[in-house]
């Protein structure tokens, strides 16, 4: 969280606008600007644990993390600066939550990259006030409006679910594969054998699909699930509960909150940070996994076929196998043994 994103650079063009304001920063907070911009008060709220970790080091208790904001999150703020994410339902979920808590008369600034769909902010905000574009730079748009009518927000109304092999999968806006199983995870699932035993960690668990399917045919596994996304954490907890499976679900930036060792680590790792391609999480997963595998333990991941993970796996583990592949995806397996580099 050092260099500013294009969206933050647009905010900086208007820095004088915020010196007397009490600002809540929210949305896709990928840099340190919320902790560094000159304001009367700055607070931050994020659903992403890794964004919160970085901001917490700068802002302490003024940085908030969780599934939803509450009255404490927005207390004393008169201005919202919202960073538009690439997922429109996620933006709608977060904005309605925040606009139900901020007082009428609050100023609202929405900023985001044009390719993320930030243009739809005007229509989305129309039920609560008027919003107009005030700047365009760095392929981003900056919009300003005033909250005239508080939103109503019913968190329970945002849940969705679908059935998969007799299992109930619970999802929320912003969770990966919210509306159905993605092709990559399906390929990974096809490689899992029934009657798996031991301790299994599902990293980047999303809606908990991998763990739920594994538990359905391997009841002796012991499950741990982690993700940086608060919506994913809640969705995985709900998926396990809906199917009467046990498992520990917790927030973690890859392995940041993981202390144990496992017999199997599973993942369909992300390769985007917002709209940008980023291999950071996947590389951290591969390089860090040897510290969290038992001897003979396995890392099994699925990835887009064009991503350069084979080289990293060989560098870290000394070897790897491709268990399945299509034109788009590969499932990699690497075993932790004496050749792995700790």
Q: Where in the chain is the domain with CATH 3.40.50.150?
A: 6-151, 159-336
Find all residues with CB under 8 Å of 133, minimum gap 6, and list them.
122, 141, 142, 143
CATH number of 6-151: 3.40.50.150
Whether residue 278 contacts residue 48, with contact meaning beta carbons closer than 8 Å, is answered with no
Q: Phi/psi of residue 150, each to 5°?
A: -60, 145
Give the pairing type, strands 293-304 and 321-325: unpaired
Coil, helix or strand at residue 225: strand
The answer to whether 33 touches 9, Cβ cutoff 8 Å, is no
Residues in the chain, how many?
Answer: 342
> Which among 43, 45, 46, 27 is positioned nearest to 35, based on CA atoms?
43
For residues 90 and 172, give the distance between their C-alpha atoms in angstroms, rounded to a whole number. 8
* DSSP letter assigned to residue 60: G
Would you state the structure tokens that stand for residue 145, as one six-digit string?
């409006």
pLDDT in tens, the chain (342 residues): 448 999 999 999 999 999 999 999 999 999 999 999 999 999 999 999 999 999 999 999 999 999 999 999 999 999 999 999 999 999 999 999 999 999 999 999 999 999 999 999 999 999 999 999 999 999 999 999 999 999 999 999 999 999 999 999 999 999 987 788 999 999 999 999 888 889 999 999 999 999 999 999 999 999 999 999 999 999 999 999 999 999 999 999 999 999 999 999 999 987 644 444 457 888 899 999 999 999 999 999 999 888 889 999 999 999 999 999 999 999 999 999 855 554
Which helix (H) or strand (E) is 316 found in, with range?
helix 309-317
Q: Which of 189, 187, 183 is nearest to 208 (CA)?
A: 189
Q: Helix crossing, 230-242 with 209-217: angle to 10°?
A: 20
Tell me the C-alpha distance between 147 and 135, whole Å.
19
Fold of 159-336: Rossmann fold (3.40.50)
Could you give phi then psi for residue 76, rounded to 5 degrees?
75, 5
Note the pTM of the prediction, 2 decimals: 0.93
């Amino acid at each position: 969280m050092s260099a500013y994103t294009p969206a933050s650079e647009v905010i900086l063009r208007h820095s004088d606008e915020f010196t007397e304001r009490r600002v809540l920063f929210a949305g896709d907070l990928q840099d340190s600007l919320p902790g560094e911009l000159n304001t009367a008060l700055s607070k931050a709220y994020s659903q992403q644990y890794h964004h919160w970790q970085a901001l917490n080091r700068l802002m302490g208790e003024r940085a908030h993390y969780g599934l939803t904001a509450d009255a404490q999150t927005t207390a004393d703020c008169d201005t919202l600066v919202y960073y538009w994410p690439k997922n429109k339902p996620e933006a709608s979920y977060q904005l309605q939550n925040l606009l139900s808590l901020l007082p009428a008369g609050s100023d609202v600034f929405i900023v985001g990259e044009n390719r993320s769909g930030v243009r739809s902010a005007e229509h989305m905000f129309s039920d609560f006030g008027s919003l107009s574009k005030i700047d365009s730079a760095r392929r981003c748009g900056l919009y300003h409006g005033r909250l005239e009518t508080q939103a109503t927000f019913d968190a329970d109304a945002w849940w969705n679910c679908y059935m998969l092999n007799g299992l109930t999968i619970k999802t929320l806006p912003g969770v990966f594969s919210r509306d159905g199983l993605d092709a990559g995870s399906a390929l990974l699932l096809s490689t899992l054998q029934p009657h798996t035993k031991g301790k299994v960690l599902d990293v980047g668990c999303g809606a908990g699909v991998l763990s739920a399917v594994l538990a359905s045919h391997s009841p002796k596994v012991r499950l741990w699930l982690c993700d940086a996304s608060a919506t994913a954490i809640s969705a995985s907890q709900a998926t396990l509960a809906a199917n009467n499976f046990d498992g520990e679900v917790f927030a973690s930036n890859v392995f940041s909150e993981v202390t144990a060792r496992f017999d199997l680590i599973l993942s369909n790792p992300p390769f985007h940070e917002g709209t940008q391609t980023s291999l950071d999480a996947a590389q951290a997963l591969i390089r860090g996994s040897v510290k969290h595998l038992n001897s003979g333990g396995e890392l099994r991941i699925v990835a887009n076929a064009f991503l350069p993970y084979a080289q990293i796996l060989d560098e870290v583990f000394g070897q790897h196998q491709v268990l399945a592949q299509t034109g788009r995806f590969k499932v990699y397996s690497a075993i932790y043994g004496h050749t792995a580099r700790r």
